[in-house]
Structure 1
Amino acid sequence: MVLSLVNLCALEVVSDHSSSPYWLSCVPRELYRALLDAAFTHCRPLAVGELVQRWPERTLTVGGSRKAGECPPNRLCVQALLLAVVRGLTDKRCCLQMLDLSGLQCENGRVEDSMGGWSLSVALCSMVLQARAAASRAHRRDGERERKRGLEAERDRGTIKRDRGKVGCGNSGEGSQGGHGVEEVEKMECKTNERMLPEDESVLGVRRRMEIQRRKTLSEGKSNTSSNSSRLCDQDWDEVVVVHVRADLFVNSRSWERVRDALSQPGPLRLHCHYLRVEELSAPSIASLLGLLPQQNLLGVDIRYSSLGVSGLAMLLPLLAPFPQLHSLRLHYCNLDLQRTQPGQQGALQDMSKGLGSLKKLKRLCLTALRLPGHLRLLLSSLSQPLEVLKLPYLCLTSTDLAYLSCSQHAPFLRELDLSENWLDESSLPSLRRLLAQAENSLCQLSLCGCGLSDTLLSALLPSLSSCQALRRLRLALNPLSRTGLLCLARTAAGIPSLRLLLYPNPLEEYEPGLPALPSSAQLLDWPLLEESEGRDLTLRLLEEVLNLRGRSRDLLVTSDLLNYSPDLTVDE
C-alpha cells in the first residue's frame, strides 16, 4: 500500500511523543483524522489518547469494515481511546458527541495484541461506569462548593445588616446640633424609659423572639429549597447524555452483570448496541438485557450455546419486535431438538412462527443445529418479506423441507444459502435443483459441506450450479468425491466468471485405506490422510491444469483447507 504525503507526515508527527505539546496546540482540525489513523496503525497509544481527549468534531468512527490484510487496532490503543473519552468529558476543547466503535472487535485469535468482542464489551461498560462515577463525584463537589458559597453569602448579608444598624444609631446621635438639644433628648429618653420600662421590655422581648423565629423560618425554607433544587439538578443531570457510544456487545455469564449495570444506570455516556451476541445465558437474562437496550440502533441478535428450548425461544422472539431496524437473527446450538415429541411442542412452535412473523425487517436468518425436521414451512411462512440470507446447517432437513424452500417466496431473493450437514439423496435432488434455478440470478454464496454428495449426485447437480452466474463463493468440503468427480467440479467452477472461492473436499484417493463406500462428513473429518504427498501433489497439479485451461489461475482461489481458506473474503468485492 502506497501512503500519501499526508499519511507519511502524520506518521512522523505522532512518532515522537515528546513533541506533542507543540503540534497539538497548532494542528488544524482537518488533520486530526490522519493523525489518529497513523497513531492506530503504528501503535502510538499516547498520541491516540491526546487526540481523542480534544477531538474537534462531533463524530468519531473507529473500526468498521477493514480491508483485506489490514490489522485491527492494538489493544493498548483501544484502551487509550476509551480512557481519553472519559477525560474528554471535562475537557472544553473536546466536541465529541457520537463515538461509533461498531466492528472494532477482532474475532481472529491468531492476531496478537488485538481486543476480542468479550474484552471490548467489558472495557466499554467499564468506561461507561467510570464516566458515571467521575461525573457523580464532580457533581457532588460542585454542589458542596455552591452550598458553602451560599452560606458565606448569607453570613456576609447578616454582618452587613448589623453594621448598618450600628452606623444608623451613631449617625442619629452625631446629627443632633447643639448641646441643649442632646441633653433634652437624653432627658426625654430617660424619663420615657423610667416610665415605660416594664412594658417596653416585654415588647422588645416579643420583637426579638419574632425576629429569631422569622430568621429560623427563612433558613429552613432556603434549606428545603436548596435540597429540592439539588434533587432536581441530580435528576436533570442523570438525564443529560454528553456522548452516545455505538458498539457491538458480546455478553456471557461472566460479563452479564457489568453490561446490565452499564445499560441501566444513567450518566454522561449512553451505550447503544448495533449487534448483540449472547452466549450461555438463560432466556430470562436475555429478556432483561433486551429490555435495557435502546430500540433504535439494534441491527442484529446472535444467541449461541444457550439452552433455551422451544418455549424459551417462543418467549424471546416477541421481545425483538419493538426493534424497528432489526434485520439479522442468528440462533446457534440453542437446544431445540424437535426430533423428540414433547407435550405442548406444537403450540410453542406456533408461537415461534408468530414471533418470527413480527420481525418486519428481517433479512438474515441463521439457524444452526436446532434439529427442526419437517417444520421449515411452519417457521418461514410467517415472514412478511423474503429473506436474503438463509443458513440452515445441522437442521436435519427433509425432502419436504427442501420442496417447500424451492417454491417459497424466499428462493428468488437468496444471496447466501447454507445447507451444510443436511444429508442429500436422490429424493431431495430435484428440489435442490429447482431451488438453484430460482436463485440463479441472486445467489452469491452457497455452502453444501458434508451433505453426502457423491460423484453421481454431484454430476446431476453441476448443470444447476453452472447456471448460477452470480456465485462468488462455493463450499463443498467433506463430501465423498473421487479425484475424477473433483476435476468435474473444478471445470464447472472455472466456468462461472464471478466465482472467487472454491472450497473442495479431499478426494477419497488421499485417505488411508478402510473408509466405507459412502463415508459421512464426521468420518471424512476424523479419518487420517495418507502420509505420502504424492497423491496431494497429483491433485494440485491436475487442478492447476484445469484452471490454466480456463484462464482462472489468478482470480479463483481453489483450496481444501477448512481453517485457512480466507473466511474474510467478502461477496461484495
Structure 2
Amino acid sequence: MQVLDLHWNAHQDFWALWCGIKPSVCSLLEPEPAQPMQKTCRVEAQAGLMPARAPVEVLLDLCLKEDTLDETLSYLLKKAKQRRSLLHLCCQKLRIFSIPVQSIRRMLRLVQLDTVQDLEVNCTWKVATLGRFLLHLGRMGNLCQLLLSHVHVLPHTTPDKKEHWVGQLTTQFLNLPHLQELYLDSITFLEGHLHRVLRILKTPMETLSINNCLLLESELTYLSQCLTVSLLKDLDLSRVNLTSLSLEPLQVLIERTSATLQDLELDECGIMDSQFSALLPSLSRCSQLTTFRFSGNPISMSVLESLLHHTEGLSKLSLELYPAPLESYEDVHGTLHLGLLAQLHAQLKQLLCTSGRASMV
C-alpha cells in the first residue's frame, strides 16, 4: 500500500460503486483477464539486499483544537512519531484553533508541511506567540490559501519590537510562492506595515480579505497600485474604518480589477454618502460582479437608488446586501422604524422590477 486516504469526503462513491448502485461505472469492477501463472522462486534475504520499503502516505485534513483529538488521530500521530520513515502524514487543509502553541509545534513536526495548501490560524495570540509558529509557516511551500486571525500586540510594545515581528512574518512569506488567497482578520501589529506584506507577494492574488484592521491612507494607495492585486476576484475590506480616508485609491483599485472582480464586501466601513457616490462609476464597470455587500454604512435612500441605476448593466450581479437607509431610523440612537423600513424596501424592490431584475436578492 502506498496511499491511505482518510479525508472525510474522500471518494464518496466508493461504497455505492461496490454495491452496484451506479451501473454506469460497474464495468470498472469487471475482473481483468487471467494472466498466466508465473513460477515463483524463494529468495533468501541477505543482509544489505532487502529493498527499501516505501513510506505509506496518509492523507487527512487536520483540525487542531483543545481536547478534540479523537482516538484515530491520536493513534496516527503516535505511529507517525514511532515510524517517521515509514508513515508520512499529508495534510491539504489545516485548521488551528485555541490550543497551546507548544502542542501545535509538537504535532506539526509529524506532518509533511509541504503538503499543506489551505491553512487557517484562528487563535487569539500575542504576536510573540505567532513568532514561535512562523518557522512552520515558512515550510509550507505549496500553500495557496492563508487565514490569520486575532493576533495582537501588547500596549507597551516598542516600535522596534513591532518592526522585528513584521520582519519575521514577511521573511516567511518569501517562502510561499503559490499564495493566492490571503485573509487577515484583526491583525493589529500590521498597522502601518501592510504594504511590506503586499510587496513580498509575487503570485497574482485571487482573494484579499482585510477585516477589522486599521488601514492608513498611504496603505490604501499602495494597495491600489500593487501589481499582485490587478486580477482580484474577491476583495473584502469589511470593518476597516474608511470614514476619514479619501476613497480615491479604492476607486482606482475597483477600476483596475473591474474585468475580474466577482465579490466585493465593504460591510461596516463607515462609508458616507459622498464617498460612496464617488465609487459608483467604478462599480458600474465591474462586468463579472456577482455579489456586493456594504451593510452597516450610513447611506441614504437616494444613494441606494443611484446604486441600482449604476448597476443595471451588471448582468451577473445577483446578490446585494444593503444597509437600512438613513431615512428608516427614528432617532440618532439607531432605532429602526419598521414601517418606514418596509416602505423603503418596497421602493427598492420596485426599482429592481422596473429595470428587469426582479430575481435579484
Whether these two folds match at TM > 0.5 is yes
What displacement does 1:275 show? 1.0
Does structure 2 conserve the Cα–Cα contact (< 8 Å) formed by 1:318 and 1:358?
A: no
- Could you give the per-residue CA deviations for residues 356-380 of structure 1, whole angstroms, max 9, x where no partner exists? 1211111111110112221111122
Letter in 1 for 2:61: D
- Kept after mapping to 2: 8 A contact 1:325/1:361: yes
Q: Does 1:492 align with 2:318?
A: no
- Paired with 1:418 and 1:436, the residues of 2 have a C-alpha distance of 12
Secondary structure, counterpart of 2:115 in structure 1:
coil
- In structure 1, the residue matched to 2:345 is 540
In the alignment, structure 1 segments of 5+ residues that lack a partner are 1-23, 36-54, 58-228, 230-235, 516-526, 558-573
Determine if the alignment matches structure 1 residue 31 to structure 2 residue 24: no
In 2, Cα distance between equivalents of 1:350 and 1:461: 34
Tell me how far 1:483 sits from its aligned partner.
1.8
Letter in 1 for 2:79: Q
Partner of 1:437: 255
Looking at structure 1, the residues matched to 209 and 132 of structure 2 have their Cα atoms a distance apart, in angstroms, of 22
- Counterpart CA distance in 1 for 2:136 and 2:347 is 54
Inter-partner Cα distance in structure 1 for 2:164 and 2:298:
40
Aligned equivalent of 1:333:
150
Structure 2 gaps, min length 5: 1-14, 31-46
Tell me which protein shows more strand as a share of its residues: 2
1:421 paired with 2:226, answer no
CA contact (8 A) 1:290 1:319 kept: yes
Correspondence 1:529 to 2:346: no
What SS does the corresponding residue of 2:167 show, helix, strand or coil? helix
For 1:467 and 1:261, how far apart are their aligned partners in 2? 55
Q: 1 CA distance for matches of 2:292 and 2:154?
A: 29
- Can you list the C-alpha shifts for 1:476-503, whole angstroms capped at 9, x where unaligned? 0000012222222222233322212101
Report percent identity of matched pairs: 28
**Matches of 1:509 and 1:385, distance apart in 2:** 45
Q: CA shift at 1:347, angstroms?
A: 1.6
The answer to whether the Cα contact below 8 Å between 2:234 and 2:264 also exists between their aligned partners in 1 is yes
Contact 1:282/1:306 (8 A) holds in 2: no
**Using the alignment, how far apart are the partners of 1:252 and 1:34 within structure 2?**
42
Q: Any idea what SS the aligned residue of 1:303 has?
A: strand
Counterpart contact for 1:363–1:388, Cα < 8 Å:
yes
CA distance in 1, matches of 2:155, 2:278: 32
Partner of 1:17: none
Deviation at 1:343, TM superposition (A): 5.1
Look up the equivalent residue of 1:403 and give its one-letter code: T
Counterpart-to-counterpart distance in 2, 1:306 and 1:377 = 23
After superposition, give the CA deviation of every residue in 1:260-313 in whole Å (9 maximum; x if it has no partner): 542341499975322111111233332223222234532111011231x33332
Structure 2: distance between partners of 1:485 and 1:330 = 34
- In the aligned structure 2, how far is the partner of 1:552 from the partner of 1:339? 54
**1:321 counterpart residue number:** 138
Residues 406-465 of structure 1, C-alpha deviations (whole Å, 9 max, x = no match): 111123121111111111146431111111111111111111111111211111111111
Which one of 248, 261, 279 corresponds to residue 461 of structure 1?
Answer: 279
Distance of 1:492 and 1:337 partners within structure 2: 45
* Residues 72-83 of structure 1: pairs in structure 2 closer than 5 A: none
Q: Which residue of 2 aligns with 1:345?
A: 162
Query: Deviation digits for residues 205-248 of structure 1, max 9, x if unmatched?
Result: xxxxxxxxxxxxxxxxxxxxxxxx9xxxxxx99x874xx65443
CA distance in 1: counterparts of 2:65 and 2:290, whole angstroms = 34
Between stretches 336-345 and 374-383, larger displacement belongs to: 336-345
> Cα distance 1:542–1:32, how it changes in 2: closer, same or farther (>3 A)?
same
Query: What is the aligned partner in structure 1 of residue 322 from structure 2?
Result: 504
Aligned positions of 1:230-241 closer than 5 A: 241=56
Q: Which has the larger radius of gyration?
A: 1
In structure 2, the CA distance between the partners of 1:438 and 1:340, relative to structure 1 (3 Å rule), is: farther
CA distance in 2 between partners of 1:464 and 1:394 (Å): 24
Q: Deviations over 1:181-205 (max 9, x none)?
A: xxxxxxxxxxxxxxxxxxxxxxxxx
Secondary structure of 1:544's aligned partner: helix
Cα offset for 1:322?
3.0
CA contact (8 A) 2:141 2:175 kept: no
Q: Answer 1 or 2: which has greater helix percent.
A: 1
Give the root-mean-square deviation of aligned CA atoms: 3.3
Query: Could you tell me which of 179, 196, 200 is aligned with 1:362?
Result: 179
Query: For residues 248 and 420 of structure 1, do their structure 2 counterparts lie closer, same or farther at Cα, with a shift above 3 Å needed?
Result: same
Do the aligned partners of residues 31 and 314 (structure 1) sit closer, same or farther apart at CA in structure 2, a change above 3 Å counting?
same
Letter in 1 for 2:236: D
Number of residue pairs matched? Answer: 320
Instruction: Tell me which amino acid in the other structure corresponds to 1:437.
Output: E
User: Is contact 2:292-2:319 (8 Å) kept?
Assistant: yes
Quickly say closer, same or farther: Cα 1:257–1:545, change in 2 above 3 A: closer
Aligned AA (1:529): L
**Structure 2 counterparts to residues 126-525 of structure 1, below 5 A:** 241=56, 246-256=59-69, 259=73, 261-266=75-80, 272-307=90-125, 309-336=126-153, 341=158, 344-371=161-188, 372-425=190-243, 427-515=245-333
Matched-pair contact (CA < 8 Å) for 1:493–1:502: no
CA contact (8 A) 2:64 2:95 kept: yes
Distance 1:386 1:288, change over 3 A: farther
- Which residue identity lines up with residue 287 of structure 1 in the other structure? R
Q: CA deviation at 1:398?
A: 1.1
CA contact (8 A) 1:260 1:292 kept: no
Residue type of the partner of 2:256? Q
How far apart, CA to CA, are the structure 1 residues paired with 2:306 and 2:216?
27
Q: Is the 8 A contact 2:88 2:112 kept in 1?
A: no
Report the residue type matching 1:305 in the other structure.
C
Structure-2 change in CA distance of 1:28 and 1:360 (3 Å): closer
Distance in 2, Cα, partners of 1:448 & 1:338: 28
> Aligned letter for 1:435?
L
Question: Can you list the C-alpha shifts for 1:24-57, whole angstroms capped at 9, x where unaligned?
Answer: 9xx985835579xxxxxxxxxxxxxxxxxxx969
Distance apart, 1:382 and its partner CA: 1.5
Question: Which one scores higher on RCO, CA 8 angstroms, separation ≥ 6?
Answer: 2
1:403 to 1:337, Cα distance in 2 relative to 1, 3 A: farther
Contact 2:55 2:88 in 1 (8 A): no
